[in-house]
Amino acid sequence: MSVIRENLYPFSTKAEKVRGKDSFWGNVFLRLIKNRMAVAGLVIIAVIIISAIFAPLLAPHDPIKQNILARYKAPSAKYILGTDELGRDILSRIIFGARYSLLIGVITISLSLFLGVILGVVAGYFGGIIDLLLMRLIDIMLAFPYILLAISIVAILGPALSNAMIAISIVNIPTFARIVRSSVLSIKESEYVQAAKALGASDLRIILKHLLPNCMAPLIVQSTLSMASAILSAAGLSFLGLGAQPPTPEWGAMLSDARSALQRAPWVVTFPGIAIMLNVLGFNLLGDGLRDALDPKLKN
Amino acid sequence: MLAYMSKRVVFLVPILIGVSFLVFLMIHLVPGDPAVMMLGERGTPEMLEQLRVDLGLNDSILTQYYRFLKKLIHFDLGRSVISNVPVNKEIGDRFPATLELTIFGMFLAVIIGIPAGILAATKQNSLFDNASMVVALFGVSMPVFWLGLMLIWLFSVKLGWLPPSARLTVGVDLLSITNIHILDSLLTGNLRALFDTFGHLILPAVALGSIPMAIIARMTRSSMLEVMRQDYIRTAYAKGLNSRIVIYKHGFRNALIPVITVVGLQFGSLLGGAVLTETIFSWPGIGKLSYDAIMARDFPVVQGSVLVIALIFVLINLIVDLTYSIIDPRISYS
Amino acid sequence: MTKRIIALTMLLVVVVAGLVFAEPNNGGTLVYGRGGDSVGLDPILVTDGESYKVTQQVFDTLVEYKPGTTAVVPSLASSWSVSDDGLIWTFRLRKGVKFHDGTAFNAAAVKFNFDRWRLVDHPYHQANKFIYYGYMFNGTPGVIKDVVAIDDYTVQFVLTQKFATFLSNLAMVPFAISSPDAIQKWGDDYFTHPVGTGPFKFVEWVKSDRITLERNDDYWDGKPYLEKIVFRSIPDNGARFMELQAGTVDIIDGISPNDVEILEKTKGLKLSPRPAMNVAYFAMNQRFEPFKDPKVRQAINYAIDKQTIIDAFFAGLAVSAKNPMPPSMWGYNDSIPGYEYDPAKAKKLLAEAGYPEGFKMELWAMPVPRPYMPQPKLIAQAIQQFLAEVGIEAEIVSYDWATYLSKVREGEADSYLLGWQGDNGDPDNFLYTLLDKTNSNGFAYQSEELHEVLIEAQKVFDQDVRTELYQKAQEIIFEDAPWVNLAHYTAPIGLKDKIEGFIPSPTGTEKLNKVWFK
């Protein structure tokens, strides 16, 4: 289980008005698809999204229905990736599991992004005592060992995938709050923001129109990378019995529930493991690619 | 500098108090209590209630928190509700194990991650760059418990090269002074224990260090890329300096700052976040201690261990900040 | 030719005799791998099996269970007698026994220990921390009115009432005799410095890592063969099994059923099943509307295929259960037919009860393996499927262990998995402890009829009369079907095949003084 709790990719935070939107994002996209690694990441994620959407069509068997007589069958023509401890088809479970994986990535990160952005903007923009208090709160959360924080939250709410997701979101808030705050601080005093203020723009308008667009780049990158670590965190919580509950075909739960079959039926542990690895790899590749594409200084 | 430091240290106090109150609140929100854990499947409801009274679990949260703080002033973290072991002793026994594993794991991560990152940066977009970054990414993409079990299965069961778990082989004696085995075996000149300790450290350190290694490698690479494009590096090249000197003397030194930030943060989070690694490798560390304590609702142990982990975390951050000014004299904290 | 045959035969006889009567080897260190650390080493203070595994070696009790059974045999007491009214028990103590600290074991020491446990004003009593004492002897001071040291080697217990399980309770590990000197010397920290009369002495405890014991050369039951025992904590089941495969531990428990097959095939390893003194059950809470009707409870009993569950998730190492107590125990009623797997009958009963379309419910599953049930989450999923086949839609719910226990005890679960590991080998410890109306809050089963039978059985000594009563109790339970008896688990213990003399005990812990390496 790992949570990358810091913005690893320091962006230039110099006051810099985002240029004409269309051409900017168009350029980013062009740079992105020129990067082989990022394209590989995109392809992986696309495959996962497709299997998530079309799972009922793609899966050869029912992912939940058990057949105890056919437990631990090795990969064969009928069961391409073999069957698990309850005789369920592993391939079908992995295909359906794509849904949960995406759900974990997208929902947890959206939630922490939302809360983190609010905290960061408020702290950075209003400053003073509000900033001091909010940042101490963030410091406290950072100093709290994250895995224990997540465990305690799940223990309070009860083990379930939804609660594990809430826990992972909370754990990720400080990272986003810090990124946003530092960006906001760096451009708050810039001329165009001051000009907008002088013209009588409301705080909300300034925040939405001028401050947030400027944090977009680092936030996008951090979100992609955090999605990767959120999936691993969910797997870690499953290992401790605090993640998805049976019979949900969630990859982390499949992997940790079946780990005692490592020697008896290696395929039961291998394939969900590979699925998680590829998924995390996909998000990481995309995140790295986005970072390079969004920060033009890095490319000549 | 001194003023800055003392200001930082003063700031630690509210953070730690905040952490301790947060733990206290959280652990009391969790349903279930140590009395239930102690009785297990046994006992009548009356026995359970009586035990709760005797353990002081029926007092209000604030009363319990006040009791905790009163002891804390004398650096006394109380005794475990379940085993009655003093929490100070429990932490003193187990923190060194975690420290040793974390240092060794971070050492592996740094000596592999930083050179790989530099090489990848200097040969940007080369085969080596892509290959090392993919390898690094695989490192961050594996659930650590899975990696750990695979490592034991391969290196201990199939190949028989390394011991599967624990800190020392049964039968290898080592006088415990600091409970950091490497240090103890050096102090007592016990070479057998030293080698044995290294053998036991390798697998868990690889499992623990794989994620920080990948992060450090990527960080080093991107930080180097950024620095290498700065004007003064170009100038250095233009002056005709040897490229190796340019890379290591000018480039690397300046690229170090974000790398150190990451190393510090990773180190801090590993100290408290090694629950899974410690479980798989039967490592008697503080991560497992605090996890078990949460699961058993052993309030004093949870309090004490989280507080110690948080303290170390903020101290490491402080050290990291101070290192900046040593590496880059332009940063000063006056 | 004949000479040759005779010579060969003689040789064979000698070899076989040599194998059978081989003199056990002395020496060696046994490394025992288990799932967790001991909580403490003062046996009266703890309730967990991991503590008892160690204290069983360091301490003796007045009487003990014969290895592999729950029959009571002499230990520190060499003989005993009971008065006709059943109120006065007199024990003759073994002479010449010494505690590991050199002090003498005698009647005064026995009195000191029992007074410490039962008298709240004893200077070394820890209020309500001696959980098992209150539990087995009905509170403090409970049924033991007085303990009198008649002379150095005779001790007398005066009871307040006739107490059928008195003797078998005394054999339980928590009631082991400590050195009074050591208790006085260490006070509150005695639990880390245990001093008993047992076959092994305490040496060192590295928290969460290992506990080391060494041989007590002067043990009254002969010098133990092993020189040292090291108990290692290896939390992950898979990792522990791999340690056994790698040879770094000699014996492990808590083997995943998945690894049983591998273990049986591995050269140099063998498997030793622990005799079952447990029951794994699936309880139906009568607070939940449909379960108020006994027909629904019986229907669920018919709907679950126990043998399939046992073959798949107990690695076949369990006996299908028809009563709440294991078949090896006296008082077991074998004439009970049990509920065989019959989904058609289940559907019929459900329809009769007014649920032809079934209903929805929660099915709670333990988050952790227990000594009586190795894979609760898988078993829950299998039950879910069996219930779906008769139209009942069950949703699996789980919590962490502490929450699970406390919610289940308070009756919050519609239906749940749980089980019981027996303490003293007496049917009372199963039937009364689990199903009497005073102990069944989790599933709200209230049978007056059963209560009367069970209370009656606590007051008689005659085992034949008690057997009759307990058989009657089992009939009542069968008809009422308050839960589904799933299985009695004979949990596998894995060990190197060069280990001899290991006899697993149904109580869950055993003395290791007769264990030796071939």
- C232 close contact with B: CB closer than 8 A: yes
C445-448 CB contacts, 8 Å cutoff, 24+ apart: C445/C286, C445/C480, C445/C482, C445/C483, C446/C286, C447/C476, C447/C480
- Same structural domain for residues C166 and C238? no
Q: Give the containing element (helix H, strand E) for A112.
A: helix A90-126
Domain containing C211 — which CATH number? Answer: 3.40.190.10
Chain segment C451-496, per-residue pLDDT in tens: 999 999 988 888 999 999 999 999 999 999 999 999 999 999 999 9
Of the candidates B315, B295, B291, B316, the one whose C-alpha atom is nearest the C-alpha of residue B305 is B291
Residue extents of the structural domains in chain B: 96-327
pLDDT at position C198 over 90: yes
Measured in angstroms, the CA of C135 and the nearest CA of chain B are apart by 7
In tens, the pLDDT along C135-159 reads: 899 888 899 999 999 999 999 999 9
Domain contains C143: yes
C187 assigned to some structural domain: no
Using the predicted structure, report yes or no on whether residue A5 has a pLDDT greater than 50.
no
Q: How many CB atoms lie within 10 A of CB B22?
A: 19
Number of domains composing chain C: 3
Interchain pair C29, B170: CB under 8 A = yes
| Among C135, C152, C181, residue at a domain's last position | C181
Q: Which of A207-221, A243-257, B82-96 is predicted least confidently?
A: A207-221
- Interchain proximity A85–C261, CB inside 8 Å: no
pLDDT-wise least confident of A3-17, A156-170, C191-205: A3-17
Residue B40 CB burial class (10 angstroms; 0-12, 13-18, ≥19): middle
Q: What average pLDDT is seen over chain C?
A: 92
Do C231 and C315 belong together in one domain? no
Residues of B within 8 A of C421 (CB-CB) are 41
What's the gap in Å between the CA of A150 and the closest CA on chain B?
Answer: 11
- Contact (CB<8Å) B54/C128: yes
Q: Do C248 and B163 touch (CB under 8 A)?
A: yes
Flag whether residue A153 sits within 8 Å of chain B, measured between CB atoms. Answer: yes
Q: pTM of this prediction?
A: 0.89
Which phi and psi angles does C141 have, rounded to 5°?
Answer: -70, -10
C147 and C233: one domain? no
Q: Which two tokens stand for residue C264?
A: 């049986």
- C-alpha–C-alpha distance, residues B297 and B300, integer Å: 9
* Encoded amino acid at C123, one letter: P
Domain shared by C289 and C353, yes or no: yes
| Minimum mean pLDDT range among B4-18, C94-108, C124-138, C181-195 | B4-18
Torsion from C-alpha of B189, B192, B194, B200, nearest 10 degrees: -160
Q: pLDDT 10s per residue in chain B (334 long)?
A: 677 778 778 878 888 888 888 888 888 888 888 888 888 888 777 778 888 887 878 888 888 888 888 888 888 888 888 888 899 999 998 999 999 999 999 999 999 999 888 888 888 778 888 888 788 888 778 888 889 988 999 999 999 999 998 898 988 888 888 889 999 999 998 999 999 999 999 999 999 998 888 888 888 888 888 777 777 777 777 777 777 777 777 677 777 877 888 888 888 878 876 888 999 999 999 999 999 998 888 888 998 998 888 888 888 888 888 887 777 666 655 4
Contact of A110 with A103, CB cutoff 8 Å: no
- For the segment C198-202, the average pLDDT, to the nearest whole number, is 97
Please tell me the distance in Å from B143's CA to the nearest CA on chain A. 6
Average per-residue pLDDT in chain A? 85
Q: 3-class SS at B166?
A: coil
d(CA C241, CA B280): 12
> Do strands C415-421 and C360-364 pair parallel, antiparallel, or not at all (unpaired)?
parallel
**pLDDT for the residue B75:** 85
User: For B282, which of C234, C245, C246 is closest by C-beta distance?
Assistant: C234
The gap from C-alpha B105 to its chain's centroid, in whole angstroms, comes to 9
Where do the H-state alpha helices sit in C322-462?
343-352, 376-389, 401-409, 428-435, 448-458
The pLDDT confidence band at residue A296, using thresholds 50, 70 and 90, is low
If asked whether residues C358 and C454 sit together in one domain, one would say: yes
pLDDT at C11 over 60: no
Is C5 part of any domain? no
Query: Residue A17: pLDDT above 50?
Result: no
Q: Confidence class of residue A13 from pLDDT cuts 50, 70 and 90?
A: very low
| Model confidence band, residue C349 (pLDDT cutoffs 50, 70, 90) | very high
Q: Can you list the pairs that B156-159 forms with residues at least 24 positions away whose Cβ atoms lie under 8 Å?
A: B156/B203, B156/C242, B156/C243, B156/C246, B156/C248, B157/C242, B157/C245, B157/C246
Residues 62-121 of chain B with CB under 8 A from chain A are none
pLDDT surpassing 90 at residue C322: yes
May I ask the CATH class of domain B96-327?
A: mainly alpha
* pLDDT value of position A9: 45
Is the separation of the CB atoms in C61 and C75 below 8 Å? yes
Can you give the pLDDT at residue B332?
Answer: 58
Same domain, C302 and C266: no
Backbone angles phi, psi at C364, to 5 degrees: -90, 135
CATH code for the domain of C475: 3.10.105.10
Nearest-angstrom CA–CA distance, A56 and C309 = 29
For residue B281, what are the CA distances in angstroms to A150, C7, C150, C257?
22, 56, 54, 21
CA distance C165 to chain A (A): 39
ipTM confidence: 0.87
What share of chain C in percent tops pLDDT 70? 96
C131 and C256 both lie in a single domain: no
Contact A2 B273 (CB under 8 A): yes
- Residue A185 is predicted with a pLDDT of 85
Is the domain of C395 the same as that of C503?
no
**Touching check for B301 and chain C: CB below 8 Å?**
no
Contact C128 B51 (CB under 8 A): yes
**pLDDT score for C12:** 56
Q: Bridge-partner residues for C496, per DSSP?
A: C269
pLDDT of residue A299: 43
Nearest CA to C419 out of C487, C478, C477 is that of: C487
Chain B, nearest residue to C134 by Cα: B47
User: Quick one: C68 and C153 in the same domain?
Assistant: yes
Distance CA B9, CA B21 (A): 19
More confident residue, B80 or A291: B80
Whole-number Å distance between alpha carbons of C428 and C420: 13
Q: Please check whether residue A270 is in contact with residue A29, taking contact to mean a CB–CB distance below 8 angstroms.
A: no
Query: Do C97 and C150 lie in a common domain?
Result: yes
DSSP designation for C281: E
**Per-residue b/e over C455-468, b at no fewer than 16 CB within 10 Å?**
eebbeeeeeeebbb
CA A167 and chain centroid, separation: 13
- Whether the CB of B51 is below 8 Å from some CB of chain C: the reply is yes
pLDDT band for position A14 (50/70/90)? Answer: very low
Q: Within 13 Å of residue B324, how many CA atoms lie on the same side as its CB?
A: 17
Residue with tokens 């055993």: C510
Q: State whether C482 and C496 are in the same domain.
A: no
SS (H, E, C) C242-264: HHHHHCCCCEECCCCHHHHHHHH
Please indicate, yes or no, whether residues C246 and C348 belong to a single structural domain of this protein: no
The DSSP line for A69-110 is: GGTTPPS-SSSTT-B-TTS-BHHHHHHHHHHHHHHHHHHHHH
Least confident range of A2-11, B250-259, C81-90? A2-11
* DSSP state letters, B240-260: T--HHHIIIIIIIHHHHHHHH
End-to-end Cα spacing for chain B: 5
- The shortest CB-CB distance from B146 to any of A6, A255, A281 is to A255
Do the Cβ atoms of C396 and A245 come within 8 Å?
A: yes
CATH number of the structural domain spanning residue C162? 3.90.76.10
What pLDDT shows up at residue B137?
82
Which residues in chain A are contacts of C403 at CB distance < 8 A? 155, 158
Whose structure tokens read 């502490």? C402
CA distance B331 to chain A (A): 17
Choose among B141, B223, B310: nearest Cβ to A284. Answer: B141
- Does any CB of chain B come closer than 8 Å to the CB of residue A10? yes
Question: Cβ contacts (< 8 Å) between A242 and chain C: which residues?
Answer: 400
Does the structure show a pLDDT above 50 at A8?
no
In chain A, what residues touch B265 (CB-CB under 8 Å)? 5-6
CA-atom Rg of chain A in angstroms: 22
pLDDT at A119: 94
Identify the pLDDT of residue C21. Answer: 54
**In terms of Cα–Cα distance, which of C508, B244, C381, C424 is closest to A87?**
C381
Residue in C with minimal Cα distance to B155: C246
Say if the Cβ atoms of A144 and B140 lie within 8 Å. no
Domain extent for C472: 278-489
Report how far residue B272's alpha carbon sits from residue B122's, in angstroms, rounded to the nearest whole number: 35
In chain A, residues 38-97 whose CB comes closer than 8 Å to chain B: none
Q: How confident is the model at residue A298 (pLDDT cuts 50, 70, 90)?
A: very low
A247/C398 Cβ within 8 A: no
DSSP readout, B307-326? HHHHHHHHHHHHHHHHHHHH
Nearest chain C residue to A259, by CA: C238
Q: Which residue has the higher pLDDT, C26 or A76?
A: A76
Contacts of A86 in chain C (CB under 8 A): 378, 381-382, 385
Chain A contacts of C378, Cβ < 8 Å?
Answer: 85-86, 246, 257
Mean pLDDT within C123-132: 88
Q: Which of A45-54, B136-145, C173-182, C246-255 has the least mean pLDDT?
A: B136-145
Domain A45-63+71-298 top-level CATH class = mainly alpha
